[in-house]
A and B are shown apart, each in its own frame.
Chain A
Amino acid sequence: MRGLVPFVSYRLFRALIALWLVSTVVFVVMRLSGDPVPLLLPPDAPPSEMERVRRDLGLDRALPVQYAVFLGNLLRGDFGRSIHFREPAARVVMGYLPATFELALAAFGLAVIIAIPVGLISAMYRNSVVDHTVMGLALVGQSAPTFFLGILFILLLSLQAGLFPTSGRGDWTNLVLPALTLGAFAMASIARLTRSAVLEVMRADYIRTARAKGLGEAIIVAKHTLKNAAIPIVTITGLQFGTLLGGAVVTETVFSWPGIGRLAVQSIYNRDYPVVQCAVFLSAVAFIVINFAIDLIYGALDPRIRAG
């Protein structure tokens, strides 16, 4: 296990730097947004009242001091109060988190369950009609705009075929279309990578050896190919889970899914900056934590990574 400690601490250091940069950007953006005080008070509030609120919020202090206070508040999970909901922004965002988590998990599960077998079949029947069709679809899935994919699903599978509800959150039928939409990009990427990883392994000498000693194709695939193709597949799969969070903003808006992505967009319309900041920051934390975890899993799977 030599090399694990430097590996983990280097990754941890990078994750912390990324978090710090994100929070600094959030601070700068918040400063750019101008004076929040008029938004908090009725329009006819006297100047003395404005002064008092400004002092209460610490806005009369020097910028570096404000920055330090801001970072301190972040560490304690204090994002200020929501202007629209009139409760702490962090509590508002937390209330919307389960829906996003449910959607991301469903999208991810769907992507993995469909993409890995499909990629495997594509590789085994290379250059067949099935392979070409699947890879063509994967290309479409990778470059189609998420929001329009959602609209197409609603139009074809919901309005025309009547298979699924168009929007909202409820039982599993509500989950299918948003999960497909959100998972499409990940699905396409994982399928393409599985195909190329399996093809790569199939060329290896030990596969030829396995064939030469008369092993059946099923055993070769199950015991030799998949196991060795697993590392790149796990990596891209993990990376894709991270990108789902960004896609959630669009998908949730299209399907009126009550998650933090839609909350963030609506809070922008409501000029509810504390909620926007909290949602952006929490997404960043989730994203960075997931990537950090993937790095660790990857390092554990493949000793060569730790050495590098």
Chain B
Amino acid sequence: MVPSTPASARADAAPAALPRVARRRRRLRVPLLTAIGLVFVLLLGLVALTAPWIAPQDPTRQSLRGRLAAPTLEGADGRAHLFGTDHLGRDVLSRVMWGSRVSLSVGFAAVLVGGIMGSTLGILAGFRGGWADSIIMTIADAQLAFPFILLAIGIIAVLGPSFPTLIVVIGLSGWVAYARVLRSQVLTLRSREFVDAIRALGGSFPRIILQHILPNVLSTLVVIATLELARAIVLEATLSFLGLGIQPPTPSWGGMVQEGREYLDSAWWISTVPGLVLMATSIIVSRAGDWLRDVLDPTLRGE
């Protein structure tokens, strides 16, 4: 166990460190794989933010002469294409970089939508109880009892694919996770003395929620949001793959995998590069969520 101690932690570990501090250290020690994952996520975020400046080429610039070029340092157009070019001669690396903007922005926005909706409903259900609780939880159960992608396809088919539709639909698909967990947490918090005390002192409903309940469930929220982020990114890519998400020519990972499908045997890189980046993102973000859960809130394990 000792070799994985980060250098910084070893340096400032005083010989007379209290056992409690030591225990805390051990609990917070970041496993190597998770550390790699966090670096990956940070890099991805950085790429998404700076894509317009760091992408080697314009992601929509076509070049008929440089079509379907294998990964090369000097293509037919005299430029480097580290991940090759696609069927329209666009640089795959640049498109993957720009695609991260779509994945992350839709992912985060959807998590925000689902999180606000789910936690509001969950807190309401847990705090108010009664018929509000019954209705909210029945709808949650019904939604869980149904493959959401079918519903998403139906809604997008009718409303037409667009950024806001996509965000709302993906957000809607995720609210149940927050609502269920927050409801059960609020149910246990509600009967604690400190809440009774605030009530007795005349604290209003919003005040109790915002000042006293929310801080108590914040770590839970962070855990669910991380796990939901991975799911939202995959759902966006899946919808884009089906042609119901981000529309061309805007580069998105799912759309790129779809575009490259027909060239799998001649130009494998078109589909494979964005697909692998998507897969890595999904695995790493959900592993990070698992790790956060174990560190912040072990009681969630059963969920």
Contact = CB atoms under 8 A, between A and B. Distances in A.
Contacts of A30: 158
Interface stretch (A119-127, A142-150, A207-215): A142-150
A283 B147 contact: yes
- Most chain B beta-carbon neighbours within 10 Å: one of A14, A22, A148, A155: A148
A26 B149 CA distance: 14
Contacts of A265: 153, 242-243
Interface stretch (B13-21, B91-99, B138-146): B138-146
Nearest to B276: A148
Interface residues of B, number: 40
Contact of A268 (B244, B265, B286): B244
- Most chain B beta-carbon neighbours within 10 Å: one of A143, A144, A253, A276: A143
Given A18-B142, A276-B157, A277-B154, A151 B275 contact: yes
Interface stretch (B41-49, B64-72, B230-238): B230-238
Interface string A274-299: 00110110011001100100000000
Given A29-B155, A264-B153, A269-B243, A148 B275 contact: yes
A147 B145 contact: no
A49 B204 CA distance: 60
Contact of A25 (B151, B254, B279): B151
B258 to A, nearest CB: 8
Interface string B263-276: 01100100110010
B283 interface: yes
Interface residues of A, number: 49
B287 A145 contact: no
A247 B155 CA distance: 18
Interface of B: 138-139, 141-142, 145-151, 153-155, 157-159, 230, 234, 237-238, 241-244, 254, 257, 261, 264-265, 268, 271-272, 275, 278-279, 282-283, 286-287
17 contacts: A18-B141, A21-B139, A26-B154, A139-B283, A145-B275, A148-B271, A151-B272, A152-B272, A154-B264, A245-B147, A253-B241, A264-B153, A265-B243, A269-B243, A280-B150, A280-B151, A283-B150
